[in-house]
Amino acid sequence: MDKDLELLGKICQQYGLGKPECPPVVLKGGFLHKMYSLFTPGGRYAVKLLNPYIMQRETAMENYRTAERLEAMLEEQGLPILPALRFEGRKMQCIEGQFFYLYAWYDGKALKAEEIKEVHCQKIGNLLARIHRLDRKETVYERSEIHIDWDSYIEQLALRDEELCRLLRENRSLLYESQNNGNIAVRKLPHVVSVCHNDMDSKNVLWVGDDCRVIDLECLGVSSPYIELYETALCWCGYEKHHIDYGFLRCFLRSYAEAEGQLPADWETIYWSNYGRLEWLEYNLKRSLGIECSEEEIAMGNSEVRETIAHLSYYHKAKDEIMDCLKEFS
């Protein structure tokens, strides 16, 4: 924390923001990076310190360059986003090896699950369709298959965390079934890609009344709009709290379609293709084991392992109800 405070002071000085008028405030909600709020004579700002372990990945810089290019595209279209500020023509900045983004402050708040109303689902469904119309191409959606050795993680956890080991072992069949069916399903996806946010759940949209701004734009990429539509709709309709509101889900999908978003014909394939949480689970298993992460991330890894397995279990149990609802949009 002290190191971060020193760095934030240097950011204020180097980028002409002025001396902070009070200590920086930690912003909660993110699972990968650190966020702070800065109060300065020049105004209020948000700073995102990018996770150094993620920045060490071979694909990291290329992914961020792609995201920045697509962010500019959304800006040009006048979509309600909160883009990073530019300094000397660049959005991503670096001081003493720490990469970061700086944002103008937007005084909105992310909605909790119980605060989401039908009007929010309608608005986000419409906005997602507008994003998916950008740079839409008929080409193969290229996605690497998932081949995670869950048994290896069970063995490693047996030596470190008995509770998580038991949890993983109890859900072993579900994990391998989801992985195998997902690998088959992604090969059947329609040959369409478009601009996708890739994480547009409720924590990444800030609201002031009916006005909103989408954040976490470094997630932007080119992907399957069908998978993102399905995953995002579920997240806004109660899936995160293990209770899907099917009225909300219908509202979200209708709004998407009314905004000229294209709905998939084969929902069964989309259901199984939505298996990215397996990769999120593996990422957090590594955190739990202290692999490729800082010491302070281990506790978050443990928590996210439990939560992700609970999501996967609920998703499996709710399959018939989900499919019955989606058939109305076939």
The pLDDT tens digits for 244-255 are: 999 999 999 999
Integer Cα distance of 303 and 164 in angstroms: 10
1 pLDDT tier (thresholds 50, 70, 90)? low
CB atoms within 10 A of CB 170: 11
Q: What is the pLDDT of residue 45?
A: 95
What average pLDDT does the segment 43-69 reach? 93
Q: What is the pLDDT of residue 4?
A: 85
pTM: 0.91
What average pLDDT does the segment 68-84 reach? 96
Mention every residue, 6+ apart, whose C-beta is less than 8 A from residue 11.
17, 38, 47, 93, 95, 100, 102
Integer Cα distance of 286 and 151 in angstroms: 14
| Averaged pLDDT of the chain | 94
Q: What is the pLDDT of residue 205?
A: 97
Q: Which tens digits make up the pLDDT trace of 276-289?
A: 999 999 999 999 99
Please provide the CATH number assigned to the domain covering 113-329. 3.90.1200
Integer Cα distance of 175 and 183 in angstroms: 12
State the alpha helices, DSSP H only, in 133-263. 150-158, 162-170, 172-186, 225-236, 246-258
Q: Which residues of 205-223 are buried (b: 16+ CB within 10 A; e: fewer)?
A: bbbeeeebbbbbbbbbebb
60 pLDDT tier (thresholds 50, 70, 90)? very high
Q: Which tens digits make up the pLDDT trace of 225-267?
A: 999 999 999 999 999 899 999 999 999 999 999 999 999 999 9
Integer Cα distance of 51 and 296 in angstroms: 12
Residues of the chain with CATH 3.90.1200: 113-329
What average pLDDT does the segment 188-208 reach? 96
Q: Which tens digits make up the pLDDT trace of 15-32?
A: 988 888 888 888 886 677
- Whether residue 205 contacts residue 215, with contact meaning beta carbons closer than 8 Å, is answered with yes
Q: Of 19 and 117, which is predicted with more confidence?
A: 117
DSSP state of 137: B
Cα dihedral 275, 82, 258, 242 in deg (nearest 10): 40
Question: 2-72+82-105: what fold?
Answer: Phosphorylase Kinase; domain 1 (3.30.200)
Residues of the chain with CATH 3.30.200.20: 2-72+82-105
Q: What is the pLDDT of residue 28?
A: 80
Residue 102, classified by CB atoms within 10 Å of its CB into exposed (0-12), middle (13-18) or buried (19+), is buried
The most confident of the ranges 9-13, 218-222, 292-296 is 218-222
Q: Which tens digits make up the pLDDT trace of 143-175?
A: 999 999 999 999 999 999 999 999 999 999 999
